[in-house]
Structure formats: structure tokens, C-alpha cells
Amino acid sequence: MEEFDIGIVGAGPGGYTAALHAANKGKSVVLFEKDEIGGVCLNKGCIPTKSILHSSEVYAQTINCTELGICTGEVKLDYSKVQERKTQVIEKLRKGIELALKNAKVKLIKEEAKIENENEISTKSEKYNCKKIICATGSSPRIIKGLEFDGEFILSSDDILNLQTLPKSILIVGSGAIGLEWARIMSNFGVQTTIIEMAQHLLPIADIEVSKRVERIFKTKKIPFYLNTSIKKIENKEVTLSNEEVLHPEKILVATGRIPNIIDNKVDGVKYIGDVTGQIQLAHFAIKEAIEETDLIPFRKDLTPSVIYGTPEIAWAGKREQDLEAGTFEKTTTLISALGKSLCDNETEGFIKLLTQDKKIIGVHIVSKEASSLLQQVLIAMQNDITIDKLKEVCFAHPTYSEGIFESLFKIN
């Protein structure tokens, strides 16, 4: 039986990060992965989706570029090339991770593994003794009764990534990150797209003003959506909604979240990180949990950033307005359309909203181009308890979207 300091099951962002950081500290590490290195994020989530999203945005921008003084001929879409590029991006990143693991002398076992107890991992062919075990087995698309995936008509977020041709119409169930990003992708490509959401607003996990702005954006882009609505029944690909309206989509994407991949009961003494914990199911959360475990560097879980990609980006962290008692906080909002850079870029949709208490930022909510980058600037201040007055001392470049943060600071009393 081979012996290691650390055994890790699952080579997604949490697993491979833990492996690399532990190995760099001189630990002997064995890493198990039954599928592809990189986990859901690299192979079935963040990366392939963003690759396809980028193609869809370039396509939509090219079709509508005449107002910028650019005239083109007929714009044609070859979706097979979109898929080809997606695969190339995945493979390039995967090879980079595999090389990093090899250079760090991590032993990689590409077999299904079972955690027998707090110190033993087994495969069909071997057993491994580990002083410490980390489980990072990720998550899978949630299956809803009556909306079981068939890979043809009813699709999971895994299935939709592998479509070789685009449908003429699609019904998206759920308006979280997956649902909204795929709604943007399909709409950009000219697919008739409809969303249904059981909650009172789109993107119900966001700040209420962000949700309302998203609804306005989708109305402007003529993407129909139904709120407080579910699917009543499906017969012969005819979808009857709870409001009795009948739809005839070519495809249905079920985007109602993910569930942890726990095959056996949790084993005492084993450290579980990432999606498998059922907490915050984001790649960067798993990465930080891995680093916290291997490097003992803590992080503020309540300041984990959330980002919805597309145009405009949507990003937030910290408290939402609906979480706070009226009169206990101050809020300020700066419209993106007031920024010179946004007019130059023809990207004027959105706002920067800051929530503050005692001269410190407790919540940030951004709808804007570059929102994901803007968010990090504010997060650094929040993480380090930097006051509004100290932030006002910073010189912000002009013209930038960051100026929206600068302007917001001076609206706070």
C-alpha cells in the first residue's frame, strides 16, 4: 500500500488547487480523478460557457455595429466553429493544469476512488494510505421531477454545452447564473428565448434593484420571461405553464441549480471542500477553501463575490438591501451612463450601488461592463475595513468605469 501525506479525491478547482499548494509545501500528494482534470468548472461549466458566450457577443456586436461606423456584409454563423474553439480553450487550460501537477510531483490517478476511512482511499486496483484526506468531488445538475433530462428535448447544463446545432427556440427554466448566461447566449445567436422563474423576480439571489434592472434589460432585448411561474405539464413537447399558457419550444434547458456529488455518507476526519459541501457552489470559493486548508490562509466567506457574465456583467458581494433594516444603512447609486468611458464604448446600461454603515462599505452591487473587475476593487476595501474617507484619497484614472466607484464615494455623507 502506497503512503502519502495528503490524498485528494476530485481534481476540479478545489482539488487541484489543494494538490498544488500542498505539494509546493513539500507534502507528498496523490490526486484521484475519474473524468477529466479541471472538474465541472473547466469541462462543463465556467470556461466552456464563457467561451461560447464570447462568440455569441462578438456575433451580436458584428450584426449591430453600423451605428459605430462599421459596415459589414452578410454575417454568417458557423456554430461548429464555436464548439471547436470551446474545445480548444478547454484542452489548452487542462494541459496547463496537468503540466503544473506533473511539475509539482503530484501523483495523478485517473480512476474512480472511494474514501474507505479517514486515512484510506481505494480504487479497483489499489489502496492508498494517506495521513490526511480531502474530498472535492463537486456537484451535478439538479434533477426536477417531470423535467428529467433526456439529452434531446430536456437538457441539463452539461447537455447544452454539446449541442452541435442551435435550436430555433428554447425555454429556460430558472434564472440564476446558468439560466441568465444561457439566455444571453441563445438570444445573441438569434434563438427565440423564453425564461420561466418560480420566484417574484429574475435572479432572485441578487439585490432587489439588480433583479429589477435585469428584468428591464431583458425586456429591452425582447427576451420574454414569466415570474411566479412553473411548468404544469409537458405532453408531446407541448409545454403548459402554471398560468395555463402553452409554449412549443424546440428545446428546454433546466437551470435550477446543482446538487453535491456525495456517493457514500461523509466520513469523519475527512475534509470536504467546494461544491460537494452544498454551500457556495462557485469555483473561486472552492479554490479559497483549498488554500485555507493547505496554507492556513483564512478568507471572509460572507464576501465571496458573485458574477453573472454577458453584456452587461452583473456582480455583487456583501449585504443586499433587502437584508438590512430600513434606516440602519446608507445607499448610493451612480448610473453607468454618467461615465465618459461608457459613452465611448457604447455600453451605458447599468449602475454601481454601494451600501454603507458607519462610513464603511457593507454591500456592493454592480451592473456594468467590467463589473467583475470593478467588484474586486471594492472587495479589497471591504475585506480590510477601509473607510470611505480613506478611499476618497485614492486617485482613479479617467476615463474608466472605476470612476463610478469614485463618484459613488463622494455621494456618501
Is residue 1's pLDDT more than 90?
no
* Side chain identity, residue 397: A
Residue 263 has pLDDT above 80, yes or no: no
Does pLDDT of 60 surpass 90? yes
C-alpha cell of residue 139? 456537484
Interval 292-316: pLDDT, tens:
999 999 999 999 999 999 999 999 9
Q: Can you tell me the distance from the alpha carbon of 323 to that of 306, in angstroms, rounded to the nearest whole number?
A: 16
- The answer as to CATH 3.50.50.60 being correct for domain 2-140+259-295 is yes
Does the fold of domain 303-409 match that of domain 2-140+259-295?
no
Domain boundaries, the chain: 2-140+259-295, 143-256, 303-409
- Residue 236 in 3-state DSSP? coil
- For residue 118, give the C-alpha cell: 479517514
What does each C-alpha distance from 213 to 38, 178, 306, 349 come to in angstroms?
Answer: 34, 18, 16, 9
pLDDT tens-digit map of 84-100? 999 999 999 999 999 99
C-alpha cell, 147: 423535467
Mean per-residue pLDDT of the chain: 96
Neighbours of 66 (CB within 10 A): 9
Query: Which CATH superfamily hosts domain 143-256?
Result: FAD/NAD(P)-binding domain (3.50.50.60)
β-pairing, 360-368 with 351-357? antiparallel
Model pLDDT for residues 402-411, shown as the tens digit of each residue: 999 999 999 9
The CATH H-level superfamily of 303-409 is FAD/NAD-linked reductase, C-terminal dimerisation domain (3.30.390.30)
Q: Say if CB 412 and CB 330 are below 8 A apart.
A: yes
The pLDDT > 90 percentage for the chain reads: 95
Q: What is the DSSP string of 98-120?
A: HHHHHHTTPEEE-S--EEEETTE
Half-sphere exposure of 284 (CA within 13 A, CB side): 12
- Distance, in Å, from the CA atom of 227 to the CA atom of 242, rounded to the nearest integer, reads 11
Residue for cell digits 488547487?
Answer: 17
pLDDT in tens, 109-124: 999 999 999 999 999 9
Contacts of 72 (CB under 8 A, 6+ apart): 62, 65
**What pLDDT does residue 264 have?**
65
Q: Residue range 359-388: average pLDDT? A: 97
Which among 306, 400, 324, 308 has a CA at the least distance from the CA of 361?
Answer: 324
What average pLDDT does the segment 141-155 reach? 94
Please, what is the angle between helix 79-103 and helix 13-24, to 10°?
30
Q: What pLDDT is recorded for position 262?
A: 81
pLDDT at 65 over 70: yes
CA distance 130 to 390: 48
For residue 346, the one-letter residue type is: N
Q: Using 50, 70 and 90 to split pLDDT, how confident is the model at 413?
A: confident
Least confident of 53-67, 140-154, 258-272: 258-272
202-250 pLDDT, tens digit each? 999 999 999 999 999 999 999 999 999 999 999 999 999 999 999 999 9
The whole-number pLDDT of residue 73 equals: 86
Burial class (CB in 10 A: 0-12, 13-18, 19+), 397: exposed
In this predicted structure, what is the pLDDT of residue 72? Answer: 87
- DSSP 3-state assignment of 260? strand
Cα separation, 48 vs 94, whole angstroms: 12
Q: How many residues does the chain have?
A: 413
pLDDT at 353 over 80: yes
Average confidence (pLDDT) over 355-365:
97
pLDDT at 387: 97
Which of 293, 267, 227, 219 lies closest to 5 in space, CA to CA? 293
The pLDDT tens digits of the residues spanning 303-351 come to 999 999 999 999 999 999 999 999 999 999 999 999 999 999 999 999 9
